Amino acid sequence: MSNKKIIFLDVDGTLVDYDNVLPESAVEAIRQARQNGHRVYISTGRSRAEVYQHIWDIGLDGMIGGNGSYVEDNGQAIMHQVLSAADSHHIVDWLHERGLEFFLESNNGLFASENFETAGEPLMQEYAYRKGQENARHLTVRDCFPEMIFGGELYRDDLNKVSFILKSYQDFLAAKQEFAHLKLGTWGGAGEKALFGDIGPAGVSKDHAIDVLLKHIGADKADTIAFGDAKIDIPMFAYCARSVCMGNGGDEAKAAADLITDAVAEDGIYHAFQRLQLI
């Protein structure tokens, strides 16, 4: 065990709040921690194309993206699991046949289906509303995904995952049956309240990605600390030596964490870094 830690930060609801605001205190905490010799990586469901420059400008050692499908250390991609071209084409065709709008997530961009901008707007508004975003009912898809590409090529071979609108929970169950060999999940709510389904490569998880990264950099699992706010962060909590849930996090994530800090907007990252003597 070393006194130098490897820190993994979820992004949405952890590093940035649900209005996508990055607190200056979090930036200061990360920069101080890195000056003290600790390494800091983001570990997020976002693909690399969704990690905008203001996040990189904090000063990070790298990232885990796509909920574990992509690992980058100091600008070098060390793992990237993508859906095969055959699976990607099958998914697009199946969603079209079922009348479900979707967007494709790759490191080269987010690609919207033909009618996602219209069909997705009320769902993104509902998602933002559930997260407590102040102007939720006025958001557009372009507000939520400023870099999304409309009218792009949908048959691709570079996909980390595909998110699709659920008209009902039955759509998710049907997708699980159709794509039993892949990893399926939901987001935007639990169970019947889920707004979206997603499909990605089998075997993808944040904890596996962290394991790959640690082997690459020659670091010890005993020196890891995970920060998150949601159920999808729980495997990362279980893998890392220490885990921290944000005050705005879900009940399941809080129950799984070693420490609960303040909410994102209440300087939760900074206060936790202080408590853990990282700064």
Question: For 9-13, 113-117, 133-137, 268-272, which range has the lowest pLDDT when averaged over its residues?
Answer: 133-137
Report, as an integer, the average pLDDT of 163-189.
95
Residue 118 banded pLDDT, cuts 50, 70, 90: very high
Which pair of tokens denotes residue 169?
């929970």
Full strand arrangement of the beta sheet holding 109-112: 149-150, 109-112, 102-106, 159-165, 196-200, 183-187
What does the pLDDT look like over 59-102, one tens digit per residue?
Answer: 999 999 988 999 999 999 999 999 999 999 999 999 999 999 99
Beta-bridge partner residues of 224? 6
Percent of the chain whose predicted confidence (pLDDT) is above 90: 83
- Quote the mean pLDDT of the chain: 94
Which H or E run contains 101? Answer: none
What does the pLDDT look like over 212-264, one tens digit per residue?
Answer: 999 999 999 999 999 999 888 999 999 999 999 999 998 999 999 999 999 99
Tell me what pLDDT residue 190 has. Answer: 75
CA-wise closest residue to 196 among 159, 171, 230, 228 = 171
**CATH code for the structural domain at 85-200:** 3.30.1240.10
Report, as an integer, the average pLDDT of 159-165.
96
Percent of the chain whose predicted confidence (pLDDT) is above 70: 100
CA atoms of 240 and 155, how far apart (whole Å) = 37
**Which amino acid would we find at residue 121?**
E
Tell me what pLDDT residue 23 has. Answer: 96
Residue 147 banded pLDDT, cuts 50, 70, 90: confident
Tell me what pLDDT residue 192 has. Answer: 81
Tell me what pLDDT residue 191 has. Answer: 77
SS3 per residue for 160-198: EEEEEECCCHHHHHHHHHHCCCCEEEEECCCHHHCCEEE
Q: Which residues contact 60 (CB under 8 A, 6 or more apart)?
A: 30, 40, 41, 42
Tell me what pLDDT residue 231 has. Answer: 86
Residue 19 banded pLDDT, cuts 50, 70, 90: confident
CB 67 within 8 A of CB 206: yes
Tell me what pLDDT residue 234 has. Answer: 92
Residue 1 banded pLDDT, cuts 50, 70, 90: low
- Integer Rg of the chain from CA: 18
Tell me what pLDDT residue 2 has. Answer: 72
Q: Which residues contact 258 (CB under 8 A, 6 or more apart)?
A: 237, 242, 243, 244
Q: Which residues contact 94 (CB under 8 A, 6 or more apart)?
A: 175, 178, 179
Q: Which CATH superfamily is domain 6-81+204-275 in?
A: HAD superfamily/HAD-like (3.40.50.1000)
How many other CB atoms sit within 10 Å of the CB of residue 177? 9
Domain extent listing, the chain: 6-81+204-275, 85-200
pLDDT higher than threshold 90 for residue 32: yes
User: CA separation (Å) from 33 to 20, 23, 27, 228?
Assistant: 22, 16, 10, 18
